[in-house]
Amino acid sequence: MSAIDDFRQETRAWLEANCPHSLRTPTPEGELVWGGSKIEFSSEDQRLWFERMRDKGWFCPDWPREYGGGGLSPAELAVLESELRRLKCRPPQINLGIWMLGPVLLEYGSEEQKRALLPPMARGEIRWCQGFSEPNAGSDLASLKTSARDEGDHFVVNGTKIWTSYGDKSDWMYALVRTDAKAPKHLGISLIVLDMRSPGISVSPIDLISGKSAFCQVFFDNVKVPKSQLIGPLNGGWTLGKSLLQHERKAMSKFGETSLPNHFHLMPLLERYLPEPRSAADQALRARALACAMDEHAYALTVQRMGEEARSRQDVSGLMAIMKLVHSEQDREKFEILLDALGYHALGWEGEAFTDEELAITRAWLNGFALTIAGGASEVQLNVIAKRVLGLPDAK
């Protein structure tokens, strides 16, 4: 028996013994465990699973052991991931630092930075948030203006970041800041990390059309950031930022496999709200709904096909470029149909007159508007497809 087979057997046995049975199910949205200083568990099993995986170094299984990782080879990592999938284990925690910043630190960070930042990250002690977008730098991220002024041994940061998820609950932030106002816009940006408790930082949550949200705006008023917290080269942050976003996409695709699929299934809901006999208007609505459900089916097959093509070493970059666009737009369409199907039932804001499900549909419809904007608006996705996938020329 080969070493990798041994590893599979050991891993399987360890997971069988250590992953609590209650956590071998998809994670409901309210029960995600967010690592960090203010970590909360909704059950004792969650705490056990968190601590066991942490002590194994398996929050970041393929990071080197010296930085708190599990030291697994790529082959071993693949085995661990497949065994986790096999048992349907929930992720022990969600941590932007591990998914996004960690890999960038491993590639671009100094030895000192790796030793300081990675081990606590790997133990799930720090909750990280992201400071990229600004009120005047959305789709055109590179026009960001939050400045980090050179003051000898430290920077002084001024400006504001927006759409920072859980900015109010996070311990540290990684942020893109302008370190050279005169350089062409992509060439004057640096990546820094900063402690959210630093004097001069204030955070205010943002209410959306759908109500309370995780999004925050973060303000920087003469915030001192030691130079040792500059990641990678000065004015070299744009490359690192793009790399971070790539890790985000990768992480989201893995995370997608273990989280609950969207729980509003179109056709069963339609059957409930449009009972027989159907009027002509109901039938027209049903035709729209069927087309939407079929497109969702085609999307699900596309996810499956992309996985198969990647495993057979085909180039899937074209497919990757369409996934966010398709998924977010299909969701919008689905909720438009549900809104029509439920009529006033899907227009309730709160109170006893509506079921929880109806209220959730209303909020999900409203939240859908954010999904075709956040993480690259649909128009930006179309630009990317046109230019990078189809090779269409730039405008003069």
Partner 1 sequence: MSLVYSEEQRLLADTAREFLAARSPVAAQRRLRDDKAPLGFDAALWREMVELGWSAIPFPEEQGGLDFGCQSLGAVFEQLGRNLSASPLLSSVVLGGSLLQLAGSSAQQAHWLPALIGGDKRLALAIDERGRHDPLATSLRAERSADGFRLSGDKLFVVDGLQADAYLVVARTAGQSGEESGLSLLLVEANTPGLTASPATLIDSRNCARLHFDGVVVPADALVGELDNGLAVLEQALDRGRVCLAAELLGAAQQLFETTLDYLKTRVQFDAPIGSFQALQHRAARLYVELALARSAVMGGLAALDDASLSATERGRLASLAKWKAGVAADKVSNEAVQLHGGIGVTDELDVGLFLKRIRVAQACLGDSDYHCQRYGALSDAQV
Nearest partner of 346 among 264, 261, 263, 262, judged by Cα: 264
**Stretch 361-380 residues interacting with partner 1 (CB under 8 A):** 379
Q: Pattern 243-282, binding to partner 1, x per CB under 8 A?
A: ------------------------xx--------------
287 scored as a contact of partner 1 (CB under 8 A) = yes
CA distance 152 to 170: 28
317 scored as a contact of partner 1 (CB under 8 A) = no
Region near partner 1 per CB under 8 A, out of 21-29, 57-65, 83-91, 322-330 = 322-330
Q: Which of 248, 257, 271, 329 is catalytic?
A: 248
Region near partner 1 per CB under 8 A, out of 63-71, 96-104, 109-117, 305-313 = 305-313
Which of 75, 291 has the CB closer to partner 1? 291
Which of 209, 382 has the CB closer to partner 1? 382
β-strand partners of 224: 156
Pairing of strands 189-195, 230-231: antiparallel
Region near partner 1 per CB under 8 A, out of 3-11, 28-36, 257-265, 316-324 = 316-324
Name, in order, each residue with C-beta under 8 angstroms of 79's C-beta and a sequence gap of 6 or more: 4, 7, 8, 11
CA distance 217 to 173: 13
- DSSP for 57-95? TTTSTTS-GGGTS----HHHHHHHHHHHHHHTPPPS-B-
304 scored as a contact of partner 1 (CB under 8 A) = yes
Q: Which member of 75, 181, 291, 353 binds partner 1 (CB under 8 A)? A: 291
Which residues in 247-261 are b (16+ Cβ under 10 Å) and which e? beeebeeeeeeebee
Residue 161 CB coordination number (10 Å)? 26
Q: Could you tell me if 340 and 355 are in contact, meaning their C-beta atoms sit under 8 angstroms apart?
A: no
Which of 39, 389 has the CB closer to partner 1? 389
Q: Which member of 152, 277, 343, 391 binds partner 1 (CB under 8 A)? A: 391
Region near partner 1 per CB under 8 A, out of 50-58, 99-107, 173-181, 321-329 = 321-329
Q: Tell the burial category of 281 from Cβ atoms under 10 Å away from its Cβ (0-12, 13-18, 19+).
A: exposed
Residue 31 annotated in active site? no
Which of 309, 350 has the CB closer to partner 1? 309
Minimum separation from the CB atom of position 272 to partner 1 (A): 12
- For the four alpha carbons of 267, 270, 272 and 274, in that order, the dihedral sign comes to negative
- DSSP for 109-124? --HHHHHHHHHHHHTT
Nearest partner of 320 among 240, 389, 390, 255, judged by Cα: 389
**Stretch 153-192 residues interacting with partner 1 (CB under 8 A):** none
Q: Which member of 196, 240, 319, 337 binds partner 1 (CB under 8 A)? A: 319
Cis peptide before 20 (omega within 30 of 0): no
5 scored as a contact of partner 1 (CB under 8 A) = no
Active site residues per annotation: 248
Residues near partner 1 (CB under 8 A) are: 267-268, 286-287, 290-291, 293-295, 297-299, 301-302, 304-305, 308-309, 312, 314, 318-319, 322, 325-326, 379, 381-383, 385-387, 389-396
